[in-house]
């Protein structure tokens, strides 16, 4: 509503430049531009997927979609902004495990996962444990043996308390070894540091080390999936190697609870049609994100699963 | 060579050249607007480029990247509002030249120094990509720490004749960079319980506050002074042309800044702002007339801009040869490469040699077009000096506020900008230089992160910094710089004392 | 005397700020695992540096009030300078406060008008044109061209 009043003022200021239809009922949603809030920086993986989705969904919804980066505090600033905006379906959060599950579990940020309604999941990343190819380890058992003999000797680079870190941490505890954590400011620096020999290993998304795996400069000891990733079929899962450790950071869309059902339905339909469109899938895959689409209810189930899985780990740290 | 020639034919296809030109124009405009920066422009353009052919899409992105990295200097020179944080280094002397009626000189120098920097960077990318990438990869936490410490010692050099105030400004800059949550562990420190402050002070808000807002405050205090020029400004006037004398001062600065910038661009995680500030500091340290700096030294503009733009091709070195994106731009470009089925890394040169060659030619063509488009733009942009203050400053302020809001989508950061405007105004009034503050602010995190990561890896063993050869060299250079600055300061102080008596 | 104040004022401010932050940081509860350098180590060292530098400058200002520096040329101080600085700051603050309430167009128009007046613009036509053109151009550029939303109005919505 407020945009329309502002438009009135614009007209009063002798500016009939920005005329927009005045009535906005849930039935004719969307009748004005939509905003996607990305709680992570412009140019990152989440941002790119968000912008691709915005571009494709805007054609289906018939309204422009603005992408806004609201960065800070582990993604909680953007999430909170999306939650506090009018609950009319015109503000959509591009959400990830980090800002949706991990940040609210670790800190008191004023929202929980189920304060949002799931529109759908667009991507689920595969995490892999990468080492430089001159390391002797070929699989997790090798690493376990070596690390058990040398407690604290081997380093890994990861941003603290995000999913790659938590996943490797969980593996180390399960394997009974002690690894030294070198905190990083982002995922990419960890891969670079591993490649440069400054770090011994890095848990990161498979896509961020894919080119190094192909070039033979890095080796992946495991992926932390239920099944092997089709993008790297010869990398075994941790589960196959006897460690039932999983970590699948997600990216998807959400709106604040209380948004009219009509708007939710339209967004879900538009997202579903976009995500299953082969042309879109193609672009997303090439931009580094495998499309693993889940509809709203299934995405909400993922939230519930991850919230339950990480609550004991993160709340203990608090 | 044949491959390059064939590639040249492909790149010079009309569509690609048009895309480069379009990208450059978009980049220059977005770069010149405070708050809008290159990563955002590239991210917005990315979905559009997916609809183009591979080379055409990448051509547009490269145009935006090079144009946007340069564009910040235009507003920095003309209205003392750095369009990008890196351009703050250009603003220090560029805006002074404008105030003295030499806007054309500063604009010309920033364009030409940028182009020379780009050209050197392009050539290094084409000729030496592989060895440079191997060397750049040696830069781990230890080396980054030492490079940061060396760069911080430039603050002492910059503060000559005003040592206590300069050092205070530098320490304040580093201190300000430690606000918010700890970048490594996420623990609370100087955040004062504020969610908004948890990511620290926004660099864009800080820079625009310290330049644009503080400038507006001192301007409104003096009022007076109408426009600098009343009649139509002709770039061909002697006051706006670069004299032989100007080039004599600027040439050595560019000659140093370009290679240093190329190297900084090749090290993942550093980037154009660090290159601009570091080169500005080095130019002043080695200048024969350091007292001119901050008062309209053409070599200050030259060093900052050559440093700034000489990263624009070398950032692609680690990306192309090793598949490592060194910054946000190359990360997005990496995505653009992948979209077209090209996987950067050693195998790219083997499997897609024609594409790599086309990319090299593309870089060169972009640099050439940048010169042409930039030169045409100068004649238009310089007319801004005719606008009287009573019209200019309302526009500048509205643009600054809007730009900062748009950059972070957060009114809190608009308030932060205002606060730093007051700080900058006070610093000017009481004779504190702002350059050390900015250098400290941008280098603080590199030093801190490097130090802490190194010590974790070395298990608290401080000798690691002298056992790594690259690190040892930088630390020795830092000590030399300190001793030298101290000696000059002591002698200068003695001389002043003698003359006073 | 004024000169001494000119130097001592900022020195005292830096000293006070340094001491304040130092006290705040030293009282900070130790956190996280020991990693050789804790999150608060560097800020604490820097705050201490500020204290030392502030104290040195204060000492120098009090002991040698500027006798070693060449006297500054008296700056031309047009009447009412300080008042205008304060007014400009107030209108900036007012603008930030008004933005979420009155929306982008109205508050920017008011802000542009106020600053134009403060900068000595006394031609009504020029001021009115600025008030209309500047917000409109910025709004169209950012919202319509770049598709980045600007603040809306809460009061009127």
CATH number at residue A43: 3.40.190.150
Residue B2 has pLDDT above 80, yes or no: no
B293 vs B92: CA distance, rounded Å: 8
Local confidence band at B414 (pLDDT 50, 70, 90 cut-offs): very high
Residue C54 has pLDDT above 70, yes or no: yes
A158 vs A238: CA distance, rounded Å: 19
Nearest to C130 by CA among B392, A6, B414, B212: B392
Residue B135 has pLDDT above 90, yes or no: no
Domain count, chain A: 2
- Whether B38 and B83 have beta carbons less than 8 Å apart is answered as no
Identify the pLDDT of residue B460. 82
* Tokens coding B216: 């507006």
Residue B188 has pLDDT above 90, yes or no: no
* Tokens coding A29: 């949603």
Nearest to B367 by CA among B258, B478, B253, B449: B258
Identify the pLDDT of residue B22. 92
Residue B419 has pLDDT above 90, yes or no: yes
> A141 with A273, same domain?
no
A245 vs B347: CA distance, rounded Å: 33
Identify the pLDDT of residue A7. 42
The residue ranges of every structural domain in chain B are 2-491
Mean pLDDT of A75-102: 87
Identify the pLDDT of residue C130. 92
A150 reaches B (C-beta below 8 A): no
B201 vs B416: CA distance, rounded Å: 7
Instruction: DSSP for chain A, please give it.
Output: -HHHHHHHHHHHTT-GGG---S---GGG--SS-EEEEESS-TTSHHHHHHHHHHHHHHHHHTS-EEEEE---GGGHHHHHHHHHS-SSSSEEEEEEHIIIIIHHHHS--S--GGGEEEEEEEEEPPEEEEEETTSS--SHHHHHHHHHHSTTTSEEEE-TTSHHHHHHHHHHHHHT---EEEE-SSHHHHHHHHHTTSSSEEEEEHHHHHHHHHHTSEEEEEE-SSS--TTSTTSPBTTTTT-------EEEEEEETT--HHHHHHHHHHHHHHHT-HHHHHHHHHTT--EEEEEHHHHHHHHHHHHHHHHHHHHHH-
> A139 with A212, same domain?
yes
Mean pLDDT of B220-242: 68
A38 to chain B: which residues are within 8 Å by CB? none
A288 reaches B (C-beta below 8 A): yes
Strands (E), B404-492: none
pLDDT tens for B12-24 read: 788 889 999 999 9
pLDDT tens for B452-475 read: 889 888 888 888 898 899 999 999
> A115 with A151, same domain?
no
Query: What domain range is A158 assigned to?
Result: 127-223
- The 3-state DSSP class for residue B398 equals helix
Which other chains touch chain C, taking contact as 3+ CB pairs less than 8 Å apart?
A: A, B
Q: Tell me which residue in A6, A14, A17 faces C140 most closely, judged by beta carbons.
A: A17
Residue A80 has pLDDT above 90, yes or no: no
Please tell me the least confidently modeled range out of A57-61, A129-133, A198-202, B256-260. A57-61
Q: Tell me which residue in A9, A33, A65 faces C105 most closely, judged by beta carbons.
A: A9
The number of beta carbons lying within 10 Å of the beta carbon of residue A165 is: 21
Mean pLDDT of B268-281: 87
Nearest to A56 by CA among A83, A75, A36: A36
A1 to chain C: which residues are within 8 Å by CB? 157
Residue B80 has pLDDT above 90, yes or no: no
Q: Tell me which residue in A3, A8, A18 faces C152 most closely, judged by beta carbons.
A: A3
Is the bond into A30 cis (omega within 30 degrees of 0)?
yes
CA angle C23, C27, C33 (to 5 degrees): 130
Decide if A39 is inside a domain. Answer: yes
DSSP 8-state assignment for residue B289: -
Decide if A283 is inside a domain. Answer: yes
For A63, nearest residue in chain C (alpha carbons): C147
* Tokens coding A186: 């982002």
Decide if A95 is inside a domain. Answer: yes
> A111 with A170, same domain?
no
Mean pLDDT of A276-295: 78
Could you give the ipTM of this predicted complex?
A: 0.86
Residue B368 has pLDDT above 80, yes or no: yes
> A85 with A162, same domain?
no
For B447, nearest residue in chain C (alpha carbons): C42
B169 vs C46: CA distance, rounded Å: 12
* Tokens coding B319: 């990306």
pLDDT tens for A140-163 read: 989 899 998 988 889 999 888 888
Strands (E), chain C: none
Q: Tell me which residue in C43, C49, C138 faces B399 most closely, judged by beta carbons.
A: C138
> A131 with A118, same domain?
no
Residue A44 has pLDDT above 90, yes or no: no
pLDDT tens for C120-151 read: 888 889 899 999 999 999 988 888 777 777 87
Alpha-carbon distances of A78 from A70, B289, B312, rounded to whole Å: 5, 49, 31
B394 reaches C (C-beta below 8 A): yes
Local confidence band at B303 (pLDDT 50, 70, 90 cut-offs): very high
Decide if A134 is inside a domain. Answer: yes
Decide if A105 is inside a domain. Answer: yes
Decide if A9 is inside a domain. Answer: no
> A121 with A264, same domain?
yes
Long-range contacts of B478-483 (CB under 8 A, 24+ apart): B478/B146, B478/B149, B478/B150, B478/B152, B478/B153, B479/B153, B481/B150, B481/B153, B481/B154, B481/B156, B481/B157, B481/B285, B482/B153, B482/B156
Decide if A207 is inside a domain. Answer: yes
Percent of chain A with pLDDT over 90: 13
Instruction: Tell if the CB–CB gap between B328 and A42 is shorter than 8 Å.
Output: yes
Please tell me the least confidently modeled range out of A230-244, B55-69, C62-76. C62-76
CATH number at residue A138: 3.40.190.10
Q: Domain end: A154, A188, A223, which one?
A: A223
> A110 with A139, same domain?
no
Instruction: Tell if the CB–CB gap between C46 and B174 is shorter than 8 Å.
Output: yes
pLDDT tens for A258-275 read: 888 888 988 889 998 988
Strand partners, A183: A158
Identify the pLDDT of residue B501. 42
Percent of chain A with pLDDT over 70: 89
Mean pLDDT of B69-76: 92
* Residues 404-433, chain B, touching C (beta carbon < 8 A): 405-406, 409, 411, 414-415, 418, 421-422, 425-426, 430, 432
Decide if A121 is inside a domain. Answer: yes
Identify the pLDDT of residue C142. 84
CA angle B241, B246, B249 (to 5 degrees): 160
A182 vs B272: CA distance, rounded Å: 26
> A137 with A157, same domain?
yes
Instruction: Tell if the CB–CB gap between C153 and A66 is shorter than 8 Å.
Output: no
Residue B333 has pLDDT above 90, yes or no: no
For C15, nearest residue in chain B (alpha carbons): B168
């Amino acid at each position: 509503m407020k945009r329309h009043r502002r438009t009135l003022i614009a007209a009063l200021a002798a500016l009939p430049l920005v005329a927009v239809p005045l009535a906005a009922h849930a039935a004719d949603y969307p009748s004005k531009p939509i905003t996607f809030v990305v709680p992570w920086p412009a140019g990152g993986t989440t941002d790119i997927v968000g912008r691709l989705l915005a571009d494709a969904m805007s054609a289906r919804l018939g309204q422009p979609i603005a992408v806004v980066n609201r960065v800070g505090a582990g993604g909680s600033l953007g999430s909170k902004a999306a939650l506090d905006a009018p609950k009319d379906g015109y503000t959509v959060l591009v959400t990830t495990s980090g800002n949706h599950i991990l940040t609210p579990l670790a800190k008191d940020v004023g929202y929980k996962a189920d304060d949002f309604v799931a529109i759908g999941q667009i991507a689920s990343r595969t995490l892999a444990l990468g080492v430089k190819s001159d390391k002797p380890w070929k699989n997790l058992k090798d690493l376990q043996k070596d690390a058990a003999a040398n407690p604290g000797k081997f380093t890994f680079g990861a941003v603290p308390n995000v999913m790659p870190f938590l996943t490797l941490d969980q593996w180390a505890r399960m394997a009974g070894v002690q690894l030294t954590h070198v905190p990083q400011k982002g995922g990419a620096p960890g891969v670079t540091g591993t490649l440069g020999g400054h770090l011994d290993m890095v848990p990161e998304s498979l896509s961020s080390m894919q080119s190094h795996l192909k070039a033979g400069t890095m080796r992946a000891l495991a992926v932390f999936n239920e099944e092997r990733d089709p993008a790297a079929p010869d990398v075994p899962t941790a589960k196959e190697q006897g460690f039932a450790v999983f970590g699948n950071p997600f990216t998807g869309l959400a709106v604040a609870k209380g948004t009219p059902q009509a708007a939710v339905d339209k967004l879900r339909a538009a997202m579903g049609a976009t995500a299953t469109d082969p042309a879109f899938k193609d672009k997303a895959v090439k931009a580094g994100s495998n499309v693993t689409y889940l509809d709203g209810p299934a995405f909400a189930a993922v939230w519930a699963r991850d919230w339950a899985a990480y609550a004991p780990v993160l709340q203990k740290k608090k | 060579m044949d491959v390059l020639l064939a590639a040249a034919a492909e790149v010079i296809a009309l569509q690609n050249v048009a895309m480069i030109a379009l990208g450059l124009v978009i980049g220059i405009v977005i770069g010149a607007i405070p708050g809008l920066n290159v990563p955002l422009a590239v991210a917005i353009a990315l979905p559009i480029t997916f609809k183009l052919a591979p080379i055409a899409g990448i051509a547009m992105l490269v145009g935006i990247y090079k144009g946007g990295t340069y564009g910040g200097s235009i507003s920095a020179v003309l209205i003392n509002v750095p369009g990008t944080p890196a351009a703050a280094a250009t603003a220090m002397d560029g805006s002074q030249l404008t105030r003295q009626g030499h806007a054309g000189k500063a604009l010309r120098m920033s364009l030409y120094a940028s182009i020379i920097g780009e050209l050197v960077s392009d050539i290094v990318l084409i000729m030496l990509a592989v060895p440079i990438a191997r060397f750049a990869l040696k830069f781990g936490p230890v080396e980054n720490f030492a490079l940061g410490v060396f760069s911080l010692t430039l603050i002492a050099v910059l503060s000559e004749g005003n040592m206590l105030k300069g050092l205070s400004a530098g320490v304040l800059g580093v201190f300000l960079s430690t606000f918010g949550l700890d970048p490594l562990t996420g623990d609370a420190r100087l955040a004062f319980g504020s969610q908004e402050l948890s990511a620290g002070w926004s660099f864009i808000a800080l820079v625009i506050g310290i330049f644009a807002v503080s400038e507006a405050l001192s301007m409104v205090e003096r009022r007076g002074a109408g426009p600098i020029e009343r009649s139509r400004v002709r770039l061909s006037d002697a006051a706006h042309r670069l004299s032989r004398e100007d080039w004599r001062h600027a040439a050595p600065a560019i000659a140093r800044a370009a290679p240093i910038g190329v190297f900084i661009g090749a090290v993942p995680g550093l980037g154009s702002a660090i290159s601009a500030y570091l080169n500005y500091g080095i130019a002043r340290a080695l200048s024969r007339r350091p007292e001119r700096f901050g008062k309209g030294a053409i070599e200050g503009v030259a060093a900052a801009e050559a440093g700034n733009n000489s990263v624009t091709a070398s950032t692609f070195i680690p990306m192309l040869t090793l598949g490592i994106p060194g910054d946000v731009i190359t990360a997005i470009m990496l995505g653009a490469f992948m979209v077209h089925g090209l996987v950067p890394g050693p195998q790219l040169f083997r499997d897609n040699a024609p594409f790599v060659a086309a990319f090299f030619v593309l870089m060169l063509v972009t640099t050439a077009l940048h010169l042409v488009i930039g030169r045409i733009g100068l004649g238009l942009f310089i007319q801004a000096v005719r606008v009287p203050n009573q019209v200019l400053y309302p526009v500048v302020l509205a643009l600054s506020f809007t730009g900062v809001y748009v950059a972070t989508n957060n009114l809190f950061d608009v308030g932060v900008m205002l606060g730093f405007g007051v700080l900058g105004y006070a610093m000017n009034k009481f004779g504190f230089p702002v350059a050390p503050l900015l250098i400290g602010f941008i280098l603080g995190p590199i030093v801190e992160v490097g130090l802490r990561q190194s010590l974790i890896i070395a298990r608290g063993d401080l000798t690691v910094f002298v056992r790594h050869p690259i690190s040892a060299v930088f630390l020795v250079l830092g000590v030399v710089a300190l001793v030298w600055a101290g000696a000059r300061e002591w002698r200068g102080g003695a001389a002043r004392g003698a003359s006073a008596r | 005397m004024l000169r001494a104040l000119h130097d001592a004022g900022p020195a005292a401010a830096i000293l006070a700020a340094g001491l304040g932050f130092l006290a705040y940081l030293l009282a900070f509860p130790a956190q996280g695992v020991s990693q050789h350098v804790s999150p608060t180590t560097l800020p604490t060292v820097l705050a201490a540096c500020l204290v030392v530098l502030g104290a040195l400058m204060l000492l120098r200002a009090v002991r040698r009030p500027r006798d070693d520096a060449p006297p500054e040329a008296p700056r031309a101080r047009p009447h009412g300078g300080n008042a205008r600085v304060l007014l400009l700051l107030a209108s900036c603050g007012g603008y930030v406060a008004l933005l979420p309430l009155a929306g982008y167009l109205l508050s920017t128009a008011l802000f542009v008008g106020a600053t134009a007046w403060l900068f000595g613009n006394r031609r009504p036509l020029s001021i009115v044109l600025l008030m209309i053109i500047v917000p409109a151009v910025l709004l169209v550029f950012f919202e319509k061209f770049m598709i980045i939303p600007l603040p809306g109005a809460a009061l009127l919505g």
